[in-house]
Amino acid sequence: MKESPLVVVGSGLAGLLVARLAAEYQPVRLITKNTLYDSNTWYSQGGIAAVWSEQDSVELHSHDTVIAGDGLCDLQAVNVLSNQSRTAIEQLMLLGVQFDKDAAQQPRLGLEGAHSIHRILHAGGDATGAEIQRALVESVSEHPNIEILEHTLATKIQTNELGVTGVQCYHFNTQSSTIIQSRQMVIATGGAGQLFCHTSNPKGATGDGVILAYQAGAELTDLEFYQFHPTALDLPSAPKFLISEALRGEGAVLMNQAGVPFMEAIHPQKDLAPRNVVSQAIAHEMSHQEEKNVYLDCTSIAADQLTKRFPTIFKNCLKYGIDIRKDWIPVTPVAHYMIGGVVTDLYGRTNVPGLYACGEVARTGVHGANRLASNSLLEASVFSIRVSQVLKKDLKTIFFSRGHWPISHGPIGQEMTFPKNKRTVQQNELTVFDFRKRMWQLVGLIRNEQSLLEMNRLLGAPCLPSALPSSKEEFELESMKVLGKLITESALERKESRGAHFREDFPNALTHQMNSIKKRIDHPVF
Ligand code: SIN
């Protein structure tokens, strides 16, 4: 067994930032199932929203966040988000993130859907996440108080009646399992776009962290709100590469196959309407007019501005024969962001003592039923900083209020050997291919009772992932099925359409507020 005061699982913005800041006063073990660079953050193009310009205000950013959130935002959490946005950006700058600047050497601010004002900072044009990841990986790698464990999968959080005591891990390189003892653990494993066959997310976004926390007794909520980004490249030969909303912020327009700018008739903000409105409008075009996709017309943007501001999108589209300076880009919605997740307070604490969550895996309440564009990197930054600020204080409180905190026993400094996985419960037979396809068809952008019941039936009663998987893929699929089941059940329970959750059979929002749908394993302790 190995002992560590703090374990951080996940190496996107949230995991890297919390590890880096906490390492100032305690040793940290940073666990990541692939390499330090594999994260959703890396792929983030558009940027990070912040109250930065003098014309902007905390009230205005909060207002935009709440309007996009369609009645379900936690106002206290939104206030924290907006109030601390500037400090969070300054913290990232201190750690070496280079945002794009204007002629006056101030961050250049872009516009995105449902924002009242230009307030999106970006880096490398459309490579904001990659720049943040680069800076944080460098900073974390240099820190003497951080031990990095790559190719390591956290398979089970260990708890006793007082809270977290450690985490069981599987190391792919050595094919061995260990238990890392810890009284505090931060889950920052990102989202779960891989549950759907069309997604902007990388391969690792399989929702393991949500299920890890769920299995430890943490409460989950708002899982029915999965955000579908309106525009990913839609070519049979190409991956579903994200086409940033920032393009529409610069003037690009969605067109149907007849060349009609269809958003004009749908929302006063047209192509810059909230993301759920745009995605659902595209789905409507595609289903009702038998169109395979719609198009994004960027030709009104000056050619040199297009290539300078969106170099990644420009090069990637060109690779597939689309010159965005003159060709319309075929686009389709894709699964993009998990709005719900592990319920936390304003400091990332879950209901399991010693267990924290931040970034996409956490449900802080800031996004309500639909996330405002570019609020994800902001939420991850603001709340990771807040988690890092309370860890030390919480540990002391726990000790003083509870006295001795026993840690699980076991031989120290040795690897644990475990019996082979002898589970008798058989998983249903859905392959990963079928599972993702069915989730897209039945629990995707447009759902109804029949489709949801069908997915529920197909999933049966998936068992929780084994702490001793025979492969990473097995562990991921088991986690995905449990999460798929919880999303499906939540979507069935919410008999209304709101934000990112659209039910054909209940197309309107309820006039009264429905309680949020909570999921939690019956746990005797927490
Ligand atoms: C985008 O660039 O359109 C994605 C940004 C986000 O998801 O907030």
Pocket perturbation via mutation, ligand 1, pick of 119, 231, 244 by most ligand atoms within 8 A of CB: 244
pLDDT of residue 514: 87
Cα separation, 189 vs 196, whole angstroms: 17
pLDDT of residue 342: 98
Which residues lie closer than 8 Å to 90 by C-beta, 6 or more apart? none
The answer to whether residue 217 is domain-embedded is no
Q: Which residues are catalytic?
A: 275
pLDDT digits (tens, 9 = 90+) for 178-219: 999 999 999 999 999 999 999 999 999 999 999 999 999 999
Cα separation, 489 vs 498, whole angstroms: 16
For 306, other C-beta atoms within 10 Å of its C-beta total 21
pLDDT band at 63 (very low <50, low <70, confident <90, very high): very high
The answer to whether residue 491 is domain-embedded is no
In the predicted structure, residue 411 carries a pLDDT above the cut 50: no
Region of 165 on the Ramachandran plot (φ > 0 left; ψ -120 to 50 alpha; else beta): alpha
In the predicted structure, residue 413 carries a pLDDT above the cut 90: no
Pocket perturbation via mutation, ligand 1, pick of 229, 241, 272 by most ligand atoms within 8 A of CB: 229
Instruction: Please report where in the chains the tokens 């990841």 appear, as a residue.
Output: 133
507 C-alpha to center of ligand 1: Å?
Answer: 26
The answer to whether residue 30 is domain-embedded is no
113 C-alpha to center of ligand 1: Å?
Answer: 9
- Asked if 183 contacts 405 with a C-beta cutoff of 8 angstroms, the reply is yes
- Asked if 163 contacts 354 with a C-beta cutoff of 8 angstroms, the reply is yes
- Asked if 459 contacts 481 with a C-beta cutoff of 8 angstroms, the reply is yes
Task: Pick the atom of ligand 1 nearest to 46's CA.
Answer: 2
Which residues lie closer than 8 Å to 280 by C-beta, 6 or more apart? 445, 446, 502
- 450 is written with which tokens? 């029949």
Q: Are strands 184-187 and 253-255 parallel, antiparallel or unpaired?
A: unpaired
pLDDT of residue 395: 83
Residues of the chain with pLDDT > 90, as a percent, come to: 84
Task: Pick the atom of ligand 1 nearest to 231's CA.
Answer: 3
- What is the total residue count of the chain? 526
- 9 is written with which tokens? 């699982």
Instruction: Please report where in the chains the tokens 């329970």 appear, as a residue.
Output: 493
Nearest CA to ligand 1 atom 4: 46
Which residues lie closer than 8 Å to 490 by C-beta, 6 or more apart? 222, 223, 224, 340, 517, 519
Task: Pick the atom of ligand 1 nearest to 45's CA.
Answer: 2
pLDDT of residue 407: 45
Q: What is the mean pLDDT of residues 20-26?
A: 95
In the predicted structure, residue 470 carries a pLDDT above the cut 50: yes
- Asked if 247 contacts 115 with a C-beta cutoff of 8 angstroms, the reply is no
245 C-alpha to center of ligand 1: Å?
Answer: 6
Output 401 or 248, whichever has higher pLDDT: 248
Which residues lie closer than 8 Å to 235 by C-beta, 6 or more apart? 320, 322, 330
pLDDT digits (tens, 9 = 90+) for 476-523: 999 999 999 999 999 999 999 999 999 999 999 998 888 899 999 976
The answer to whether residue 282 is domain-embedded is yes
pLDDT digits (tens, 9 = 90+) for 254-305: 999 899 999 999 999 999 999 999 999 999 898 877 667 899 999 999 999 9
Q: Provide the residue range defining the domain that includes 322.
A: 227-336
- Asked if 363 contacts 220 with a C-beta cutoff of 8 angstroms, the reply is yes
pLDDT of residue 291: 65
Instruction: State the alpha helices, DSSP H only, in 202-274.
Output: 208-215, 246-249
Could you tell me which residues are beta bridge partners of residue 49? 120
Distances in Å between the Cα of 484 and the Cα atoms of 118, 331, 388, 433, 497 are 36, 25, 31, 14, 19
46 C-alpha to center of ligand 1: Å?
Answer: 5
Q: Is the dihedral of CA 22, 24, 25, 26 positive or negative?
A: positive
Q: What is the mean pLDDT of residues 449-470?
A: 95
Q: Amino acid identity of 59? A: E
- 157 is written with which tokens? 């959080």
Domain count, the chain: 1
Cα separation, 177 vs 467, whole angstroms: 9
pLDDT of residue 422: 42
In the predicted structure, residue 2 carries a pLDDT above the cut 90: no
The answer to whether residue 244 is domain-embedded is yes
Nearest CA to ligand 1 atom 2: 46
The answer to whether residue 296 is domain-embedded is yes
The answer to whether residue 134 is domain-embedded is no
Q: For position 272, which CATH number holds? A: 3.90.700.10
The span from the first CA to the last CA of the chain, in angstroms, equals 25
pLDDT of residue 192: 98
Q: What is the mean pLDDT of residues 333-357?
A: 97
Q: What is the mean pLDDT of residues 4-29?
A: 94
DSSP for 171-199, written as a single string: ETTTTEEEEEE-SEEEE-----GGGSSSB
E strand or H helix at 362: strand 362-363
- In Å, the largest CA–CA distance within the chain is 70
pLDDT digits (tens, 9 = 90+) for 300-322: 999 999 999 999 999 999 999 99
Contact residues of ligand 1, CB 6 A cut-off: 44-46, 244-246, 373-374, 376
Could you tell me which residues are beta bridge partners of residue 159? 164
pLDDT band at 424 (very low <50, low <70, confident <90, very high): very low
The answer to whether residue 69 is domain-embedded is no
Pocket perturbation via mutation, ligand 1, pick of 44, 85, 377 by most ligand atoms within 8 A of CB: 44
pLDDT of residue 524: 57
- 440 is written with which tokens? 């897209």
